[in-house]
Structure 1
Amino acid sequence: MTEILATLRDPATIRLRCAAITQAVADDRSGWFRLDRSRLDEVAERVAALTRERFPDGRIPLHSRWRHFEAGGVDRRALLDASLAGVTTAERARAYFDLVVVSVLLDAGAGPAWSWREGEGDGATRYSRSEGLGVASFRAFLAGAFAFDAAEPLRADAAALRRLDAAALGAIFQVTPTNTMVGLDGRAALLVRLGETLAAESGRSGFESRPGLLYDQLVAGGRDAVTASEILGLLLRVLAPVWTSGSSVAGQRAGDVWPHRFADASAPGGGIDRRTPGWLPLHKLSQWLAYSLIEPLQWCGVRVTGLDALTGLPEYRNGGLLIDAGVVVPRDPRSLAMRWKPSDEFVIEWRALTVTLLDEVAERVRARLGQSAEQLPLACVLEGGTWAAGRQIALERRADGSPPVAIDSDGTIF
C-alpha cells in the first residue's frame, strides 16, 4: 500500500500523467477540450509584462502564502518576528510552520461575497479572496486563536484545533448573513481533522502535537538541507488523513488524486506502474503548502533545493488564465455556464492541462525575461506571474473577476 501511494505522491508522476492527458487532448481525443498552443506566446507576453510591472527590480519572490500576508504592503512578518523576539531558531521555525499550515488549509476559495476588515474606523482596510483569508488567519494566529494555552499564543496546538467549529471559524472570518463564505463548514472540519492527525503523528514521532512537528521531522539528525520533494512527501504522508474529499486508492485515502481515462500508468524513471493505471495525482493544496514552507526553512538556516520538482498549481487562477486566453478551449461553450464538482472529468482534465501548460508558459516567460530555470524557478513564474495574470484577465472578461469555471467547493480543494 505504501509503495502504491508513494508513486502517486511523487511530483514526477503528476507531470507524467498530466502530459499523457494533454497529449490525448492535443490528439483530438477529448470530448471536453481542444488546445490552441498558438496562444501560448500571447499568454507568456502577458505574464512577462505583468512580472516586470509588479517586480521592476527583477527580484521575484516565491509564490507562497507569505505573499498574502503582505497584502496592502504591510510587513506582517515583522509583526510576528517582533512577538517571537528572544525565542530559539527552532521555536521560531515551529511558529512559522504552525501559522502557514493552518492558513494554507484555510485557503480554499471563499467566494465573491466574502471580505475581511483589518483595523477600525477610517483606517480600516477590507481584503477579499486569498488576501483576505491570509490576513484574517494571520491576525487570528497572532491573537492566539489556534493556541491551547493563552500564555503561549503563537502556536497552533492539536488540542485547540480539535475543538474548533464553524461558529468559531465564522467569528474569525467575520462571517455574517451579509458577508457569507463558501465552504465554512468544510474548513472547520478540516482543521478538526488536522488536530486529530497531528495528535496521532505526535504519538508516533515523539514531537510536539502541532504543525511545527513537521519542521522537527525535516531537520531531524541535524540536517541543514532538504529537497522540495521531501517537503511535499512528508506533507502527503503526515496529512493524508486530513483529506476526505479526494479519492481512495486501493483502500487508502489518497487526497487530491482522481481517475481519468487518459491518465496512463507512467511512473518516474521511465517505468510503468500497473497498480495505479488511470489515476491522476495533482495535490494542489499540498504543493501550495510545500511552496509556502520553503521560505520559513530558509529563514531558519535550512537550504532547500530542487524547487522545480514541484509542479504548477492546478487551480482556478492558473487554469482560468489558460481558458480565458484561449489556449484551453471548451468544445461546448455552454460548459462554462455550468457548475462542476472537483471529481468531474471536465475539471480533472482542465487541471491536468494546466499543469502541463504552465511548464510551457514558464519556458516562454524565462526567454522573455532573459533568465534561466535556476534564476527563475517555476514558483517565481507563478508569483510573477501566472496567478496574477489569471486574476487580471478574469477582471477583463467578467465584471466580478470570477474564474471562467464555476466549481462547487467544500473548502478543501478549491
Structure 2
Amino acid sequence: MSSSETEQAKGLLNPAAVRERAHEMLAIGLADGLEHWKVDLDRLPETARYVAAVIRDQYPTLAVPFHARWRHLAVDGMDLWGPTADRIDWPDAATRARTEFDLAIVSVLLDAGSGPGWAYADAGTGRTLTRSEGLAIASLRMFEAGAFSATDGDPLRVDAGALARLSADDLAAGFQVSADNPLVGLEGRAALLRRLGDQCLKRADLFASKDTARPGGLADVLIARAEGGRLPAPAILELLLEALGPVWQDRLSLGGIDLGDCWRHPAMKRGDATDGLVPIHKLSQWLSYSLVEPLQRAGLQVIDLDGLTGLAEYRNGGLFTDLGVLTLKDPADAQKPWPVSDPLVVGWRAMTVALLDRIAPIVRAELGVTAEAMPLASVLEGGTWAAGRRAAAERRPGGGPPLTIVSDGTVF
C-alpha cells in the first residue's frame, strides 16, 4: 500500500465526499450517461409538494424533530426511552451520553431492512410492530433487559465483551424470530454486533470509557473534541467512520483503510486510486444524526448539521422512483433481485443523496420555513422518509421498496 492511497482513502470518509460524488452521479444521470436510469427534474416540484403535505399532516406546527433513531423508540406517540432516562439519577451528563450512545449505536446497526415477513409483539405496549419501529423497540427491550451488558447490576449499557459473545440465537430470541416470523439477515446482524464488540476491544483509544470498552466510549471522544462547547456534525461522522470501518464485512478497502458503505460505479471517473468509488455511508450518517441529541443533552452545541447529507436508503430513494423523478430505463429491472453492489443500486442511492439536497429548499419554500428552522435532518424526518413510506403504501401491497434488493442486513 502507498501513503498516497491511504490519504485518498481517508478523503472518502467524510460527508463532503459523499455529497460531491452524489451530485456528480446526478449530473451524469441528467446527461443520460447512466445505463439503468433516467432523471426528470421536472417532477421534483410535484414531489416536493407531496413531501410538504406529509409534513403538514404529521407536524401541523412544522416543528419537526431530527431524523434519528429516537423517533422510532416511541409507540403511538409515547416515548419509551426518554421518560425512563429522565427518571434515572445520572451521576453526570457524560454518563447519560455514554448510555444513550450505547443504545443508539446498537439499535441503528440492527436497523437494516427487516423484510416483509417479520413483526415484533411488544408486551409493554400490547402492540405488534414491523419494520424500523419493530426493530427499534425489539432492540430497546433487549437493552432494557441487559442483553448487551456484562456488568452486574447495570443492565442499561452495552459492553464489548457481551457483544463479542452475541449469537444469532441470542438475537433471534430477543427479536422473536421463528420459521413463521423470519428476519432478513439475522446472522449478518449478529455477526456485525460481534465485530463491533471486537473493534471496541481493539481500539481502546476510541471506545474505552472510564470503566470498560463499550460503544458509548465514543461520547467521551466527541465531548473532548468539542471546542468551546461546539462540535461540527461532520466530526461525528468522521469519528464513526474511523471507529466502525472494520466492522463491515466484505467491503472495499484502499491503502489499508476500510471504506465501509462505499461501492464501485463505472461512471465515476477519477485519475487516481479512487476511480469508480462512490461513498454513501448511510447507516453511519443516520447514526450521526441519532447521536446529536445525546450530545446536546450533555451540554454541547452541535453545529453545521447540514454538513451531513441525506440518507441513501429505500424510503428516500423510493420516493423519487415512485413519483417519477428517477425512472428505470427497462421497467423489467424492477422485478429482478439486485445486490447492493450493483451499479443500478449504487447509482440509485447516490442520486438519492443529491436529490435530497435539491428537494429540501423546495419543500421549505412550500412550507414557508427557513433552513435554520427546518434543517435537512428535519426534512428527512417530516419529510422525505415518511413520504417515501406513504408513496410505497399507495402503490404496492405491504409498502415495500420499488426495487428488489438483496440485503445482508447491514446496508438498508
What TM bracket, shorter-length normalisation?
A: over 0.9
1:36 maps to what in 2?
40
CA drift of 1:299 comes to 1.4
Q: What is the 5 A alignment of 1:396-407?
A: 396-407=394-405
Partner amino acid for 2:176?
A: Q
Is residue 241 of structure 1 aligned with residue 234 of structure 2? no
Distance in 2 between residues matched to 1:393 and 1:128, nearest whole Å: 17
Q: What is the 5 A alignment of 1:331-410?
A: 331-410=329-408
Partner amino acid for 1:199?
A: L
What do residues 347-391 of structure 1 show as CA deviations (whole Å, max 9, x unaligned)? 001011101111111111011111222221110000010001111
Distance in 1 between residues matched to 2:205 and 2:14, nearest whole Å: 26
SS of structure 2 residue aligned to 1:148: coil
Distance in 2 between residues matched to 1:249 and 1:187, nearest whole Å: 25
- Match for 2:323 among 305, 322, 325? 325
Q: Is contact 1:89-1:300 (8 Å) kept?
A: yes
SS of structure 2 residue aligned to 1:231: helix
Greater shift in the superposed pair: 351-360 or 187-196:
351-360
Aligned CA distance change for structure 1 residues 372 and 56 (closer, same or farther; 3 Å) = same
1:268 maps to what in 2?
none
Q: Is contact 1:84-1:92 (8 Å) kept?
A: no
Aligned CA distance change for structure 1 residues 6 and 251 (closer, same or farther; 3 Å) = closer
Q: Is contact 1:158-1:198 (8 Å) kept?
A: yes
2:231 maps to what in 1?
226
Q: Is contact 1:18-1:263 (8 Å) kept?
A: no
Distance in 2 between residues matched to 1:222 and 1:320, nearest whole Å: 37
- Match for 1:56 among 44, 53, 60? 60
SS of structure 2 residue aligned to 1:117: strand
Greater shift in the superposed pair: 196-205 or 306-315:
196-205
Distance in 2 between residues matched to 1:232 and 1:58, nearest whole Å: 27
Distance in 1 between residues matched to 2:205 and 2:16, nearest whole Å: 31
- Match for 2:129 among 123, 127, 150? 127
Report sequence identity in percent: 47
Q: Is contact 1:142-1:154 (8 Å) kept?
A: yes
Unaligned runs of 5+ in 2: none
SS of structure 2 residue aligned to 1:304: strand
SS of structure 1 residue aligned to 2:259: strand
CA drift of 1:83 comes to 5.5
Q: What is the 5 A alignment of 1:11-410?
A: 11-82=15-86, 84-119=88-123, 124-202=126-204, 207=209, 208-220=212-224, 223=227, 224-265=229-270, 274-410=272-408
CA drift of 1:14 comes to 1.0
Distance in 1 between residues matched to 2:67 and 2:82, nearest whole Å: 19
Partner amino acid for 1:54?
A: Q
CA drift of 1:206 comes to 5.1
Greater shift in the superposed pair: 229-238 or 218-227:
218-227
Distance in 1 between residues matched to 2:248 and 2:33, nearest whole Å: 32
Greater shift in the superposed pair: 103-112 or 66-75:
66-75
Distance in 2 between residues matched to 1:11 and 1:86, nearest whole Å: 33
Distance in 1 between residues matched to 2:372 and 2:250, nearest whole Å: 36
CA drift of 1:275 comes to 3.4
CA drift of 1:400 comes to 1.2
CA drift of 1:218 comes to 0.7
Distance in 2 between residues matched to 1:17 and 1:82, nearest whole Å: 42
What do residues 136-183 of structure 1 show as CA deviations (whole Å, max 9, x unaligned)? 111111111100023111100000000101000000101111111000
Runs of 4+ that moved beyond 3 A = 203-208
How many pairs does the alignment contain?
405
- Match for 1:6 among 7, 10, 20? 10
Q: Tell me the TM-score normalised to structure 1 length.
A: 0.95
Partner amino acid for 1:402?
A: G
Aligned CA distance change for structure 1 residues 7 and 105 (closer, same or farther; 3 Å) = same
Aligned CA distance change for structure 1 residues 199 and 80 (closer, same or farther; 3 Å) = farther
Greater shift in the superposed pair: 94-103 or 245-254:
245-254
Greater shift in the superposed pair: 38-47 or 201-210:
201-210
Distance in 1 between residues matched to 2:191 and 2:260, nearest whole Å: 15
Greater shift in the superposed pair: 239-248 or 221-230:
221-230
Q: Tell me the TM-score normalised to structure 2 length.
A: 0.95
Greater shift in the superposed pair: 315-324 or 198-207:
198-207
Q: Is contact 1:240-1:254 (8 Å) kept?
A: yes
SS of structure 1 residue aligned to 2:373: coil
1:270 maps to what in 2?
none
Distance in 2 between residues matched to 1:101 and 1:138, nearest whole Å: 11
Partner amino acid for 1:242?
A: V
Q: Is contact 1:38-1:327 (8 Å) kept?
A: yes
CA drift of 1:61 comes to 0.2
Partner amino acid for 1:327?
A: V
Distance in 1 between residues matched to 2:82 and 2:276, nearest whole Å: 46
What do residues 70-125 of structure 1 show as CA deviations (whole Å, max 9, x unaligned)? 232122123431463243211111000000000000000010110101117xx610
Distance in 2 between residues matched to 1:346 and 1:205, nearest whole Å: 36
Is residue 412 of structure 1 aligned with residue 403 of structure 2? no
CA drift of 1:24 comes to 1.2
